[in-house]
Structure 1
């Protein structure tokens, strides 16, 4: 079931992505260990009261706390996200960047929790630093769906904007990469790849385009004899090598 905003629905936004559905990952860091120790109780209080100095000290003395959960399945970052504690969230991410994409046993990230609780500022912060708005939890819901199911239309609208912008940026990166593969500019290729390789589904589009008739970067580089670029592209595995007209490989 899809929930609709005026003029846009979730399915149409999902279709902006390469697969047309929320993204999943086969190799995730999962936080599952329940921790009710005194140290964790202090961490949670520091998060909720935004006692940043205490929070930083606790993380330094107890470096394991970042991936422990409370009885609701929330890590310290998820707790901050769910409750709209922006200063705590920024502090935790500074001390433990891996917290960003950590999931709990239900497959939820901090972005999922901020979205379903309607914390617009937190959602924008998490998306800006790289949290994936199309990542699905174990029930198959992405952050956008969770926001709409909870009636948080402002959060949903901001997530739609973020998804559309990312789609436009990925399309532009594909066009620029193809141009660089034609001209033989290794510097341009390196620059494009250094900025756009964090998500597998984005890499697939950047290398191969969205449509069957789109040019593919590796084929163009091979056709034009740019060996250095070919070697650089082959560091990644998301390439198609078939000519869309002749169906030949080269």
Structure 2
């Protein structure tokens, strides 16, 4: 496996950069294993492996066994450089997970990853995208008291009036958590 990764990295080295050939000829792992390596690289923050794995045939927008895309995994695990690498290679920053319909933007609201939230907003996704329960990233940011993300989402045009399937707004979600200042902020 290491010879495969070494060969991938050599193939994408800058022109003129010294390259040391791998010890043995590299053979590509199965398509399934290449896909698994992409998920692992995204989760672990191995931005350097994204390009070579995609070039080797890994699907940048596929979903793992739990329904998460590589971009969702990178975002959720706080891997900003890997999020950038995935988006640069054409990953769909707007693609939700398979089961809950949560986007990467929603995931970083849960995790509190402000820098990644800002990067995802630049990707041009619908700021009012809803998951299967009708919740938006603004609702999640308000729920978890992510003040910076609430400000970013509102500045990007997040709609405070949207209600989820249970009839709750971002303000009522925050109020249900006992967070009156946040409830007031997203109500205005």
After TM superposition, the score normalised by the length of structure 2 is 0.60
Aligned to 1:77: 71
RMSD: 2.3
| In 2: Cα distance, 1:67 partner to 1:38 partner | 13
8 Å CA contact 1:67, 1:102 repeated in 2: no
User: How far is 1:122 from its partner?
Assistant: 0.8
CA deviation map 1:214-238 (0-9, x unaligned)? xxxxxxxxxxxxxxxxxxxxxxxxx
The question of 1:60 aligning with 2:55 is answered yes
CA deviation map 1:34-73 (0-9, x unaligned)? xxx43233223322333222221111112424222242x3
| In 2: Cα distance, 1:67 partner to 1:93 partner | 14
Aligned to 1:233: none
Structure 2 residue corresponding to 1:119, chosen from 95, 103, 113: 113
8 Å CA contact 2:43, 2:70 repeated in 1: no
Query: By percentage of residues, which structure has more strand?
Result: 1
| In 2: Cα distance, 1:86 partner to 1:101 partner | 16
User: How far is 1:148 from its partner?
Assistant: 1.3
| In 2: Cα distance, 1:59 partner to 1:150 partner | 34
Aligned to 1:149: 143
The question of 1:104 aligning with 2:101 is answered no
Count residues with an aligned counterpart.
128
Aligned to 2:128: 134
The runs of at least 4 consecutive aligned structure 1 residues that moved more than 3 Å come to none
Identify unmatched segments of 5+ residues in structure 2. Answer: 1-31, 160-188
- 1:99-248 aligned at under 5 Å gives the runs 99-105=92-98, 106-163=100-157
| In 2: Cα distance, 1:137 partner to 1:49 partner | 26
User: How far is 1:104 from its partner?
Assistant: 2.1
| In 1: Cα distance, 2:68 partner to 2:93 partner | 13
| In 1: Cα distance, 2:134 partner to 2:64 partner | 22
Aligned to 2:156, the other structure's residue is in SS state: helix
Identify unmatched segments of 5+ residues in structure 1. Answer: 1-36, 167-250
8 Å CA contact 2:35, 2:59 repeated in 1: no
Q: Which has the bigger relative contact order, CA under 8 A and spacing at least 6?
A: 1
Change (3 A) 1:104 1:48: closer
| In 2: Cα distance, 1:68 partner to 1:162 partner | 28
